[in-house]
Amino acid sequence: MLNFDFYNPTHIIFGKDRLQSIDMHVPADATVLITYGGGSAKKSGLIDKVKTALGNRKVYEFGGIEPNPRYETLVKAVEIVRSENIDFLLAVGGGSVIDGTKFISLAFCYEGDSRDLLKYGLAPIPFEVAGKTVPFGTVLTLPATGSEMNNGASISYKQGKYPVMSMLNYPKFSILDPTLTFTLPKIQVANGVVDAFVHTTEQYLTFPVNGMVQDRMAEGILQTLIEIGETTVAEPENYDVRANHVWSATLALNGLIGAGVPQDWATHMIGNELTVLFGIDHAQTVAIVLPSLLEVRREQKRTKLLQYAERVWHIESGSEEEKIDLAIQKTREFFESLGIKTHLSQYGVEADKIPVVIEQLKAHGITALSETGDITLDISQKILENAM
Amino acid sequence: MLNFDFYNPTHIIFGKDRLQSIDMHVPADATVLITYGGGSAKKSGLIDKVKTALGNRKVYEFGGIEPNPRYETLVKAVEIVRSENIDFLLAVGGGSVIDGTKFISLAFCYEGDSRDLLKYGLAPIPFEVAGKTVPFGTVLTLPATGSEMNNGASISYKQGKYPVMSMLNYPKFSILDPTLTFTLPKIQVANGVVDAFVHTTEQYLTFPVNGMVQDRMAEGILQTLIEIGETTVAEPENYDVRANHVWSATLALNGLIGAGVPQDWATHMIGNELTVLFGIDHAQTVAIVLPSLLEVRREQKRTKLLQYAERVWHIESGSEEEKIDLAIQKTREFFESLGIKTHLSQYGVEADKIPVVIEQLKAHGITALSETGDITLDISQKILENAM
């Protein structure tokens, strides 16, 4: 097992009818900016309910944070935080709204050009660069990214999608009421399952370091997602199934299963370029890349792929190669059973576009990916060709 | 799934050679009281290493916190905290030292008679009763109780052992260096495995509420403990095995697997009386009570016992009764494989002492135990008779 630090101070408030907890967790004298996305939280009446829970606090609103939230949008919210003396942010939405709110929180306190904050990649921004944030909470409406219980964000700017990590960026609290997710479009529910699944595999399908309990927990999340996947899409109001979807998605990326083990993230980094270039949903991009990457990287990941085959998919017979093939096939079929296509060509992207993706990775300085840093641009190209 | 709150702000610092992190996590101007137990931490040189890590801070020491830490001992430490203006406590030891330090932290700030703090049972002490504590960190030397990452303590006073819970009582940080546990006596290592195992079953072997991901995580911890149990006892310096022991024991009682599911704790409450009356080690008491309790409560726990048989022990054939019998038998054999006896008579306690235990439970007001509150004193008696 590798040495690790694990720290996660987010207070999770989980279950039915928990909005009234907002009153206990937001300072009584706070001036609050509610942030949200395209308007469904507004139309559904959720924003009004949140305002009711905030009681007499002074409240402002900032809507319109888009999927893959854009720097250009978020700086407008920073202006409101400045002009209205906001001292608490409340994100109502999914991962994009929460990620965007994390950036607003950091950028408000940063004295220079806040585009600087996009330069740190997967390393936490040092305290001496950004040592202060506006505190924030979240009301989650989409189970997928885990942003509600971690310190990371992904911010889009021009032709790039940039990770922004800060130890200060944990939500003070997150309200996870599965019933608030009942009205989501099916595609977003399916995306959420795939997103959580691939967050888990990025921290599990690497090389073995005897993180036995971490492996078991990762396998537990994967098995749960497989168990609930089709039902959470088909039966949106099945509370227990959706509750397990929500909590699994949070646990998949709250730092726990990745503590003490290697992490890959190549699937995400390659996938991000597909989102930026072709507008493919984030979860769809990782559904395209993961099965192909596992095929290309079967030697490097052999031990864990066999463990995955046996423990997650209960494949007990066959040669090693057959077990690995079947596990990858079952992964692909699982995504497809949720209505998520797994081939790049199915999204209208032809093979002649692959060099453009590679150029884009190169332009973003992403030339050595994976848990061992040995996915070169040539291997990324092979993964994409294999994903056609 | 049940509604839940999950909050755990302890910063875990895990791995080899992490003592130097103390310097980053204890305020530079703190006056520190190091608390420890019977002296092995002193003799081994660990206390000196901790003092070195504390650098120029003013440091006091308080040793002699006993297993099942006693109120009478801890109030002496409270006096030192008062007289020397201590503002940070650093527990170096196992669960007893950490539990004792939690009590010192609470009692120092309590204005009345600190025995009042023993009256709240498993309910958190309200903030209006105890709204302030002295911050503390821990250096763990014994993987067992999980106290290093939770807000609970168990304090002995006269003829009783009392839970003391407070939302303020999370360690600020805990250093979990598996190498610091290499020199433990084998019996304490074995006790630690059993303690963590039974912490997990108390939160898992209840009635089903569709906490699917919680169940999978609990099963993951149980499977890991089964996998590492004999080796962590037999090969004390096997780092990876001990690391998985340490991290599993922490995860078994940090609130995560119990969030959103029913919890039992009858085994612990009955076991505590065996410790108080007969001086049997805590882990041994739960090794005595658990298999017997599962036999007596097989109807109430049927669904989860079958799940336990299938998923944890991989028992796939036989009737339901046979599966349950075999799962309980394997649990008993597992404890015994570690050198922990599972029958009360093996500890020199004869059947004529059972009424004394029942009287003691009654005297402590413990008349209705379990996840459904239906273990009456008569049923507790039956569990003990069956445990002979």
Q: What is the pLDDT of residues A191-240, one digit of tens each?
A: 999 999 999 999 999 999 999 999 999 999 999 999 999 999 999 999 99
pLDDT in single tens digits along all 388 residues of chain B: 999 999 999 999 999 999 999 999 999 999 999 999 998 999 999 999 999 999 999 999 999 999 999 999 999 999 999 999 999 999 999 999 999 999 999 999 999 999 999 999 889 999 999 889 999 999 999 999 999 999 999 999 998 889 999 999 999 999 999 999 999 999 999 999 999 999 999 999 999 999 999 999 999 999 999 999 999 999 999 999 999 999 999 999 999 999 999 999 999 999 999 999 999 999 999 999 999 999 999 999 999 999 999 999 999 999 999 999 999 999 999 999 999 999 999 999 999 999 999 999 999 898 999 999 999 999 999 999 999 9
- Shared-domain flag, residues B137 and B212: no
**CATH number for the domain including B166?**
3.40.50.1970
Q: Is B272 part of any domain?
A: yes
Give every CB contact of residue A290 below 8 A, 6+ residues apart in sequence: A198, A201, A267, A331
CA pair distance A200, A103, nearest whole angstrom: 24
Give every CB contact of residue A36 below 8 A, 6+ residues apart in sequence: A42, A47, A61, A62, A63, A65, A91, A92, A93, A97
B235 touches chain A (CB under 8 A): no
Q: Which residues of A touch B5 (CB under 8 A)?
A: 11-14
Q: Report residue B382 as tokens.
A: 């039956």
* Phi, psi dihedral angles at B350 (to 5 degrees): -95, 165
A7 touches chain B (CB under 8 A): yes
CA pair distance B231, B189, nearest whole angstrom: 10
Give the DSSP letter of residue B118: G
CA pair distance A193, A245, nearest whole angstrom: 7
Other CB atoms within 10 A of residue B313 CB: 19
Q: Residue B300: its pLDDT value, please?
A: 97
Q: Residue B274: its pLDDT value, please?
A: 97
Domain membership of residue A43 as a residue range: 11-180
Cα–Cα separations (whole angstroms), residue A131 to A99, A108, A165, B25 = 18, 11, 12, 16
Other CB atoms within 10 A of residue B185 CB: 10
Give every CB contact of residue A121 below 8 A, 6+ residues apart in sequence: A162, A163
Give the three-class secondary structure for A109. Answer: helix
Categorize the per-residue pLDDT at A39 as very low, low, confident or very high, splitting at 50, 70 and 90: confident
Q: Report residue A183 as tokens.
A: 């009205």
Mean pLDDT of chain B: 97
Q: Please provide the distance, in angstroms rounded to a whole number, between the alpha carbons at the two ends of chain B.
A: 36
Helix spans in A205-281 (H): 212-234, 239-252, 266-278
User: Is-contact A74 A107, C-beta < 8 A?
Assistant: yes
Q: Is B3 part of any domain?
A: no
B5–A16 CB contact, under 8 Å: no
A6–B14 CB contact, under 8 Å: yes
Closest-CA residue of chain B to A239: B1
- Closest approach of chain B CAs to the CA of A7, in angstroms? 4
Domains: count for chain B: 2
Bridge partner list, A89: A33, A136
Widest CA span in chain A? 66
- Of B151, B180, B209, which residue constitutes the final position of a domain? B180
DSSP letter for each residue of B153-192: EEEEETTEEEEEE-TT---SEEEE-GGGGTTS-HHHHHHH
- Shared-domain flag, residues A136 and A204: no
Q: Is A3 part of any domain?
A: no
- Shared-domain flag, residues A174 and A232: no
Q: Is A2 part of any domain?
A: no
User: Is-contact A353 A359, C-beta < 8 A?
Assistant: no
A14–B228 CB contact, under 8 Å: no
CA pair distance A161, A363, nearest whole angstrom: 12
- Of A180, A200, A216, which residue constitutes the final position of a domain? A180
User: Is-contact B382 B375, C-beta < 8 A?
Assistant: no
B16–A3 CB contact, under 8 Å: yes
Bridge partner list, A60: A33
B247 touches chain A (CB under 8 A): yes
Q: Report residue A303 as tokens.
A: 């031990």
User: Is-contact A344 A288, C-beta < 8 A?
Assistant: yes
CA pair distance B334, B354, nearest whole angstrom: 25
- Shared-domain flag, residues A321 and A363: yes
Q: Is A365 part of any domain?
A: yes
Categorize the per-residue pLDDT at A340 as very low, low, confident or very high, splitting at 50, 70 and 90: very high
| β-pair type (A160-165, B136-140) | unpaired
Other CB atoms within 10 A of residue A24 CB: 11
B219 touches chain A (CB under 8 A): yes
Closest-CA residue of chain B to A6: B12
Give every CB contact of residue A269 below 8 A, 6+ residues apart in sequence: A361, A366, A369
pTM over 0.95: yes
B7–A12 CB contact, under 8 Å: yes
A353 touches chain B (CB under 8 A): no
Helix spans in chain A (H): 22-25, 40-43, 46-53, 71-83, 95-109, 186-204, 212-234, 239-252, 266-278, 282-296, 302-311, 320-337, 354-363, 377-386
A25 touches chain B (CB under 8 A): no
Strands (DSSP E) found in chain B: 4-14, 31-35, 58-62, 88-93, 136-140, 152-157, 160-165, 173-176
CA pair distance A290, B89, nearest whole angstrom: 48
CA pair distance A229, A190, nearest whole angstrom: 7
A270 touches chain B (CB under 8 A): no
Nearest to A220 among B8, B217, B244 (CB): B217
Q: Which residues of A touch B177 (CB under 8 A)?
A: none
A9–B7 CB contact, under 8 Å: yes
Nearest to A14 among B4, B16, B212 (CB): B4
A8 touches chain B (CB under 8 A): yes
User: Is-contact B81 B52, C-beta < 8 A?
Assistant: no
Nearest to A212 among B4, B15, B228 (CB): B228
Instruction: Select from B343, B341, B303 the least CA-distant residue to B323.
Output: B303
CA pair distance A308, A203, nearest whole angstrom: 12
B210–A243 CB contact, under 8 Å: yes
Q: Report residue A339 as tokens.
A: 């209505």
- Closest approach of chain A CAs to the CA of B178, in angstroms? 10
Asked whether residue A159 carries a pLDDT value surpassing 90, the answer given is no
A11–B7 CB contact, under 8 Å: yes
A124 touches chain B (CB under 8 A): no
DSSP letter for each residue of B355-375: HHHHHHHHHTT--SBSTTS-B
- Shared-domain flag, residues A218 and A127: no
Q: Residue B72: its pLDDT value, please?
A: 97
- Shared-domain flag, residues B164 and B24: yes
A228 touches chain B (CB under 8 A): yes
Give the DSSP letter of residue B124: B
- Closest approach of chain A CAs to the CA of B196, in angstroms? 13
Closest-CA residue of chain A to B248: A213
A260–B251 CB contact, under 8 Å: no
The torsion of the CA quartet A39, A251, A361, A67, rounded to 10 degrees, works out to 0
Q: Which residues of B touch A11 (CB under 8 A)?
A: 5-7
User: Is-contact B157 B118, C-beta < 8 A?
Assistant: yes
- Shared-domain flag, residues A15 and A93: yes
Asked whether residue A122 carries a pLDDT value surpassing 90, the answer given is no
Q: Residue B161: its pLDDT value, please?
A: 87
User: Is-contact B12 B150, C-beta < 8 A?
Assistant: no
Instruction: Determine the residue type at A48.
Output: D
**CATH number for the domain including A233?**
1.20.1090.10
- Shared-domain flag, residues A80 and A21: yes
Closest-CA residue of chain B to A222: B213
| β-pair type (B4-14, A4-14) | antiparallel
Instruction: Select from B69, B211, B221, B48 the least CA-distant residue to B143.
Output: B221
Nearest to A213 among B11, B212, B221 (CB): B221
Q: Residue B159: its pLDDT value, please?
A: 86
Q: Is A6 part of any domain?
A: no
Q: Which residues of B touch A248 (CB under 8 A)?
A: 213
Q: Residue B39: its pLDDT value, please?
A: 85
Residue B27, phi-psi category: left (phi > 0), alpha (psi -120 to 50), beta (remainder): beta
A188 touches chain B (CB under 8 A): no
Nearest to B216 among A3, A5, A224 (CB): A224
Q: Is B174 part of any domain?
A: yes
Q: Is A5 part of any domain?
A: no
B217 touches chain A (CB under 8 A): yes
Closest-CA residue of chain B to A227: B212
Closest-CA residue of chain A to B11: A7
- Shared-domain flag, residues B154 and B121: yes
Residue of B7, B8, B216 best to disrupt the A interface, most CBs of A under 10 A: B216
Helix A212-234 and helix A320-337: axis angle, to 10°?
40
- Of A138, A165, A180, which residue constitutes the final position of a domain? A180
A14–B260 CB contact, under 8 Å: yes
- Shared-domain flag, residues B245 and B344: yes
- Closest approach of chain A CAs to the CA of B173, in angstroms? 9
- Shared-domain flag, residues A254 and A368: yes
Give every CB contact of residue B260 below 8 A, 6+ residues apart in sequence: A14, A15, A243, A247, B1, B2, B3, B4, B209, B211, B214
- Shared-domain flag, residues A190 and A155: no
A86 touches chain B (CB under 8 A): no
Closest-CA residue of chain B to A15: B3
Q: Which residues of A touch B13 (CB under 8 A)?
A: 5
Q: Residue A14: its pLDDT value, please?
A: 98
CA pair distance B205, B262, nearest whole angstrom: 9
A7–B11 CB contact, under 8 Å: yes
B216–A220 CB contact, under 8 Å: yes
